[in-house]
Amino acid sequence: MRAFSYERAKTPADAAKAVAGTQGAKFIAGGTNLLDLMKLEVETPTHLVDVQDIGLDKVEKTDDGGLRIGALVSNTALAAHERVRRDYGVLTRAIVSGASGQLRNKATTGGNLLQRTRCPYFYDTNMACNKRQPGSGCAAIDGFSRPLGVIGTSDACIATYPGDMAVALRVLDATVETVKPDGSTRSIAIGDFHRLPGDKPQQDNVLERGELITYVTLPKPLGGRHVYHKVRDRASYAFALVSVAAVVQKDGSARFAFGGLAPRPWRVDAAEAALGSGVQAAAAKALEGARPTEQNKFKLTLAERTLAAVLVEGGR
């Protein structure tokens, strides 16, 4: 790990200013992803701004019956929150399917959203990776690609977004609130938050330099039955090969999003509209334009079967 300087911010605005004002600075809260990458020298920040003292650790009701989740609420606390378990069950189920209990105790809501989209070649500094070192190439494309992306990828990167929480947030139409270094704020729909790689895979999301996540807001509850199913190579502590988050209503309509297939949570409105023609048609619409490798083309069939199982579990 390379040397770095460190400070603790007292307010969100101060934290944003501190990161914006120092070249190579980064925020740190739980540190469950960043510290791992620093030890491997994949991430080499010159300065860390600790945001653990800035508040943002509460879950509160909104005026329209939704929830406003502070960016520093731990994954464990969020998954166990009474309102989340009762009204947003897909979110609880997604969170507890990820990482380990110890990691969920430290990981924060904001940090979870900022997980680097990554693959094994991203961690290996001896291998080419456009995400880690832009312009160096992508060793994964002609390498071991079984767990990697089948849709939304590019010639520069085929990594998948690894998180579970964000897949559920995508189904729930969450909004990400931020503060910028100049003190201004903005709200970003979760569907617009994570970027596709294109020719700039080093940029995982739309945040600007120094912009800090402050809250994640959920609209009023959707009702329906909430299901999250994750298919992976081992029973715990593994990223999804395919996951599906869904909210199924009594009339048979459903919202659903996939994880493990793309560089961001993958939800397609036209696929939900196609459910009336059957699961096969809906899955085909969701995966339209897929470009799997020979090693991971099985994910297309796996995605359809997982979606079918989830909808049955949801009572459709």
7, 13, 17, 18: CA torsion to nearest 10: 0
Does 219 fall in a domain?
Answer: no
Q: Which residues contact 247 (CB under 8 A, 6 or more apart)?
A: 90, 171, 172, 222, 224, 225, 226, 227, 254, 255, 256, 314
CATH of residue 273: 3.30.390.50
Q: Tell me: pLDDT of 64 over 90.
A: yes
Residues 182-206: b if buried by 16+ CB within 10 A, e if exposed: eeeeeebebbebbbbbeeebbebbe
Residue ranges making up the domain that contains 11: 5-52
pLDDT in tens, 101-153: 999 999 999 999 999 999 999 999 999 999 999 999 999 999 999 999 999 99
**What confidence category does residue 24 fall into, taking pLDDT thresholds of 50, 70 and 90?**
very high
Q: Tell me: pLDDT of 8 over 90.
A: yes
Structurally, the chain folds into a number of domains equal to 2
Does 241 fall in a domain?
Answer: yes
CATH of residue 35: 3.30.43.10
Strand order in the sheet with 254-259: 225-231, 242-248, 254-259
Does 38 fall in a domain?
Answer: yes
Q: How far is CA 57 from CA 14, 91, 109, in A?
A: 17, 18, 9
Query: Is this model's pTM higher than 0.95 or not?
Result: yes
Q: Which two tokens stand for residue 204?
A: 């995982």
Does 239 fall in a domain?
Answer: yes
Does 264 fall in a domain?
Answer: yes
Q: Tell me: pLDDT of 162 over 90.
A: yes
- Which amino acid does the sequence have at 154? S
Does 259 fall in a domain?
Answer: yes
Share of the chain above pLDDT 90, in %: 98
- Which amino acid does the sequence have at 131? K
Which of 52, 71, 87 is the last residue in one of the domains?
Answer: 52
Does 114 fall in a domain?
Answer: no
Does 17 fall in a domain?
Answer: yes
Q: Tell me: pLDDT of 236 over 90.
A: no
Which of 52, 68, 91 is the last residue in one of the domains?
Answer: 52
Q: Collapsing DSSP states into helix, strand and coil, what is residue 186? A: strand
Say how far apart CA 7 and CA 229 lie, in whole Å: 40
For residues 247 and 173, the answer to whether their CB atoms sit within 8 Å is no
Say how far apart CA 15 and CA 11 lie, in whole Å: 6
